[in-house]
Amino acid sequence: MTHDTLKVSTDDFVTTVTLSRPERLNALNHQLADELYEVLHACDQNDDTRVLIITGEGRGFSAGADLKDRGGANDSPSNAPTLGERLYQALVDIEKPVIAAINGVAVGGGCTLTLLCDIRVAAESAKFQLPFTKLGLSAELGSTYLLPRLLGMGKAMELVLTSKMIDAKEALDIGLVNQVVADDELLSTATEMARQIASFPPVSVRMNKAGLKLGADMAGQFRYENMALNILHKTDDAKEAAAAFREKRDPVFTGR
């Protein structure tokens, strides 16, 4: 099966899914989200796959939601999942381990997407940013649940409220990623880890992943994020932030 926004390959029970919109820094749109959902859920039911790796093609993992291409959202039924909902659905209930191999920038949804993966390996050149606050939006994809658990409340607050960019070293120091490796060793390191996991009893791997996630009430937190995003999208400040981004100028916020 071919896909327009992904490249998929399987070898030795490890399936590598590559976000493939390099001309847009792998920005996320509805088509990519739908294809990611389809591929991950198919692999989760296929015995040829025991571990999944997600990475990005080109010079970045993902620049986040595509602000110039809404992926056909305006043509979708009113009850169709939003981009955030579809990306969350793609990953949240996958039973097999998912490793994020993060190359270059992982910004906004590109960063929160990695949080839904089970293990994160970053290249030395990787950079991370959660710019939601400065854009007048709410953090998404369950990140308001996952970040405090990974980093502690103080660091989670700092990253979200300052919207600052951090490098791979700082990401490792604060626990945002598990490991940092040289750029040219990223995929080989992630693949070696995936093959080690894939060599273990598959049912044991899935049960242990499920056990570690058992206490998560991420679904409730995700519902809050959606409510917050729906409110914030309608504010003047969110519209001003988007306009300033497009026009490459400093925004002027009014608190409305």
Q: Is residue 154 part of a domain?
A: yes
Tokens 């009850």 belong to 79
Arithmetic mean of pLDDT over the chain: 92
User: What's the number of domains the chain is made of?
Assistant: 1
Q: Is residue 81 part of a domain?
A: yes
Q: Is residue 133 part of a domain?
A: yes
Global pTM value: 0.88
Q: Is residue 155 part of a domain?
A: yes
The whole-angstrom separation of Cα 146 and Cα 60 is: 23
For the cut 80, the answer to whether the pLDDT of residue 224 exceeds it is no
Q: For residue 217, what pLDDT is reported?
A: 65
List the Cα angle 168/178/131 in 5-degree steps: 50
Q: Is residue 175 part of a domain?
A: yes
Q: Which residues constitute the domain of residue 180?
A: 6-185
CA-to-CA separations, 255 to 65, 117, 138, 236, 239, in angstroms, rounded: 24, 35, 15, 8, 12
Once rounded to an integer, what is the mean pLDDT over residues 1-10?
Answer: 92
Q: Is residue 114 part of a domain?
A: yes
CATH of the domain at 139: 3.90.226.10
Please say whether the beta carbons of 83 and 28 come within 8 A. Answer: yes
Tens digit of each residue's pLDDT (9 = 90 or more) over 44-63: 999 999 999 999 999 999 99
Q: For residue 78, what pLDDT is reported?
A: 56
Tokens read off for 256: 């409305």
In a 13 Å sphere around the CA of 254, the CA atoms on its Cβ side amount to: 6
Q: Is residue 70 part of a domain?
A: yes
Q: For residue 67, what pLDDT is reported?
A: 79
The whole-angstrom separation of Cα 206 and Cα 152 is: 26
Please say whether the beta carbons of 15 and 156 come within 8 A. Answer: no
Q: Are strands 51-56 and 6-11 parallel, antiparallel or unpaired?
A: unpaired
Once rounded to an integer, what is the mean pLDDT over residues 219-246?
Answer: 81
Q: Is residue 201 part of a domain?
A: no
